[in-house]
Structure 1
Amino acid sequence: MPERGEPTWKALARVAFLIATLIAALALLWNEWPGISAALAQADDGLILLAALAAMANVAMTAASWRVLLIKAPIELSPRASAQIFFVGQIGKYLPGTLWSFIASGELAQREGFPRGVAMASLGLALLIGLASGIFMALALLPKAIGDLTDNRIVLGAALVFVVLGFIPKVQRKALRMARIDFPVPLGAIIASLTFALLAWFLAGAQIVLLSQAVGAPLDWSDWPQVTSGYAFAWVAGLLVFFAPAGLGAREAGLLAVLSLSIGLAEASAIVLLSRLAVTFADFACAGIALVMPAHPASPAAALRRHRD
């Protein structure tokens, strides 16, 4: 049943996409199951655990990429409040539709006395920075992963121009208006956010390398940059398919397409399955940790600002 106010065509598109994804996944599993099951059967549990920890570190860096943008926010957030707003709110992305995680985070922020609009706008800006860094990673490194299909120097130049544009004040102001940010965000905070976002991508790539080694696929740490680029490409693809829960289907298809260029389809499928489990575990584990974090009293400055509001 369509959500209230949602056009019927969007609801139908979502259902059609999810059905097509399920059929494609079942067909792939049916055709490649002997190889997939063999890869999973010999998987190294220790490496899978390390991959799950890398996925959790990826989520933590993504949270840091958002939190650093709030350095000049009207109200100071405690570590516990920040963790709950981000990690618990992110569980909303497992519902169909892009906005649920923003809505959940906004409600959690309001419960902490933090303006709902500020929280949602800052998360939107962090998403734009994550998207920009993901596109940069894909443009800069993906051509090497898929072969000499284009002049890498041209692609790298385009990627660098894309990033440099983000440091032009006029472009920054436009991005802040798009995200509806009504408090100052220093250039240093944007650079720090971008740095955390890039670290998050490389941790995601490390997760894939560890899972590859866990199932015996011929990928090693020399492939880390290209694997990271492929993961970024898949994430951007999943984000664009906004009606898929947490990019389900589109992200896996993109990652599978990139990995299968270097390794067998069965091994790539096993890695993609394990990666989805690792990422889901990381999201829920971080949310659980945030929920049990002890409360700390607000600093005098934070309390004063809250009192004034």
Structure 2
Amino acid sequence: MSLLRRALGAVRNPVVKWAFLAVAVGLAVYAVWATWDDLVDAAGRLSLGTVAASVVLTVAYVLSTLVAWRVVLADLGSPLPARAAVAVFGLSQIGKYVPGGVWNVVAAAELGASHRIPRRRSLAAMAVAVLISVVSGTVVGTACLPFFSVDSLGAWSWVAVVAPVLAVLLLPPVLTRVIGVAFRLARREPLEKPLSWRGLGAASAWSVVGWLLAGAQVWVLATGLGLEVTPQTFALAVGGYALAWVVGFLIVLVPAGAGAREGVLLAVMGAAMPHAELLLTVLLSRALMTLVDLGLAAAGGMLVRRDEPESVATAHGDRPS
């Protein structure tokens, strides 16, 4: 929490804000540029329909994570209109591309402050949303373990033990207490209201939907490159992506789990299709996720700029046209 507190203090400096934004965008763009040749090769082997379906699934996945976060934020007492939610969430998510694992949380707190959301509430909402993703991803991955190959199954047997323990954290009384302890250690005021069963349940459901959509994106790309079209391979893609995301998130030294996520997917799905085709699948999956993140950030930035004149006019007592 001390790291988070120092980061929050630093990001309030305007120079740091712009430097952070420039670095985050640069790293995200580099993630696409670095694998551009392989991505062009992959796109040439895929049909336009397959690529289009993958893009739609990617957008739907990212939006489902936005909705899950928005549900948590509303449950904590700060319902946010759709436009504002896109602005705050979209811009904050490029913080994933800066090593450290806390920058998207910090960015969401600072951006939310412009919408009169207390920073401690923004911090809690994003932290809870991320925790829900980690727990639900682990649970979804565990449910899909029977579809893993014998070679890769042994490496993931520990997940079946960890998942039920993590699931306990999603009980509102438990999670509210955990947040309270964390805020006390950080010397911050406690939340005004506890998390509800309904709010956490809805956010968890949206998170599970997200894993299904993300797995479907990988599956559509993989089947376009030769993976057998069966319910078993779909479950393999869903479980593989969920666990790959969790591992990538836990390795905070690399931006957005770069490399770690792809390595896990290669290991989990390696027995289901040839290596070259699988490598192209995971590279294109990563690129689509990155491009959609950038697109959502761009949309958020446009909404922020569009709303600024209204804010200035309102502050001077003028009525926006």
Taking structure 1 as the reference length, the TM-score comes to 0.76
Q: Residues 130 and 197 of structure 1 are in contact (CA less than 8 Å); yes or no, is this contact kept in structure 2? A: yes
Whether 1:265 and 2:275 are equivalent positions in the alignment is yes
Map Cα deviations across residues 25-59 of structure 1 (whole Å, 9 max, x no partner): 99xx9xxx8xx987553211221121122111111
Whether 1:288 and 2:291 are equivalent positions in the alignment is no
- Structure 2 match to 1:165: 168
Which of 101, 104, 110 is 1:101 aligned to? Answer: 104
CA shift, 1:110, in A, is: 1.1
Whether 1:189 and 2:199 are equivalent positions in the alignment is yes
CA 175–224 in structure 1, closer or farther in 2 if over 3 Å, else same: farther
- Structure 2 match to 1:54: 57
**Which residue identity lines up with residue 246 of structure 2 in the other structure?**
V
CA 249–164 in structure 1, closer or farther in 2 if over 3 Å, else same: closer
CA shift, 1:271, in A, is: 0.2
CA shift, 1:101, in A, is: 1.1
Question: In structure 2, how many angstroms separate the alpha carbons of the residues matched to 1:250 and 1:77?
Answer: 33
Whether 1:244 and 2:247 are equivalent positions in the alignment is no
CA 169–273 in structure 1, closer or farther in 2 if over 3 Å, else same: closer
CA 122–246 in structure 1, closer or farther in 2 if over 3 Å, else same: same
Map Cα deviations across residues 109-134 of structure 1 (whole Å, 9 max, x no partner): 11222112211211001111110001
Q: Residues 122 and 179 of structure 1 are in contact (CA less than 8 Å); yes or no, is this contact kept in structure 2? A: no
**Which residue identity lines up with residue 192 of structure 1 in the other structure?**
A
Equivalent pairs, count:
267
**SS at structure 1 position matched to 2:148:** helix
CA shift, 1:221, in A, is: 4.8
**Which residue identity lines up with residue 47 of structure 1 in the other structure?**
T
- Structure 1 match to 2:143: 140
- Structure 2 match to 1:217: 227
Question: In structure 2, how many angstroms separate the alpha carbons of the residues matched to 1:52 and 1:103?
Answer: 28
- Structure 2 match to 1:10: none
Q: Residues 135 and 236 of structure 1 are in contact (CA less than 8 Å); yes or no, is this contact kept in structure 2? A: yes
- Structure 1 match to 2:90: 87
Question: In structure 1, how many angstroms separate the alpha carbons of the residues matched to 2:297 and 2:40?
Answer: 31
**Which residue identity lines up with residue 282 of structure 1 in the other structure?**
V
- Structure 2 match to 1:13: none
**Which residue identity lines up with residue 271 of structure 2 in the other structure?**
L
**Which residue identity lines up with residue 80 of structure 1 in the other structure?**
R
Question: In structure 2, how many angstroms separate the alpha carbons of the residues matched to 1:228 and 1:72?
Answer: 28
Q: CA RMSD in A?
A: 3.2
CA shift, 1:170, in A, is: 4.5
CA 81–141 in structure 1, closer or farther in 2 if over 3 Å, else same: same
Q: Residues 93 and 100 of structure 1 are in contact (CA less than 8 Å); yes or no, is this contact kept in structure 2? A: yes
Taking structure 2 as the reference length, the TM-score comes to 0.73
Unaligned runs of 5+ in 2: 1-5, 8-30, 184-189, 308-321
CA 111–37 in structure 1, closer or farther in 2 if over 3 Å, else same: closer
Q: Residues 125 and 175 of structure 1 are in contact (CA less than 8 Å); yes or no, is this contact kept in structure 2? A: no
- Structure 2 match to 1:234: 244
**SS at structure 2 position matched to 1:71:** helix
**SS at structure 1 position matched to 2:293:** helix
Deviates more, 1:76-85 or 1:56-65: 76-85
**Which residue identity lines up with residue 80 of structure 2 in the other structure?**
L
CA shift, 1:159, in A, is: 7.0
Question: In structure 1, how many angstroms separate the alpha carbons of the residues matched to 2:91 and 2:158?
Answer: 41
CA shift, 1:224, in A, is: 1.4
Q: Residues 65 and 210 of structure 2 are in contact (CA less than 8 Å); yes or no, is this contact kept in structure 1? A: yes
Query: Identity of counterpart residues, as a percentage?
Result: 31
CA 39–292 in structure 1, closer or farther in 2 if over 3 Å, else same: closer
Question: In structure 2, how many angstroms separate the alpha carbons of the residues matched to 1:76 and 1:189?
Answer: 12
Which of 111, 115, 120 is 1:117 aligned to? Answer: 120
CA shift, 1:222, in A, is: 4.3
Map Cα deviations across residues 212-262 of structure 1 (whole Å, 9 max, x no partner): 133233344542122100001111110111010111111111111112121
Question: In structure 2, how many angstroms separate the alpha carbons of the residues matched to 1:275 and 1:167?
Answer: 29
CA 178–276 in structure 1, closer or farther in 2 if over 3 Å, else same: farther
Question: In structure 2, how many angstroms separate the alpha carbons of the residues matched to 1:60 and 1:147?
Answer: 34
CA 162–43 in structure 1, closer or farther in 2 if over 3 Å, else same: same
Question: In structure 1, how many angstroms separate the alpha carbons of the residues matched to 2:217 and 2:169?
Answer: 28
**Which residue identity lines up with residue 244 of structure 1 in the other structure?**
V
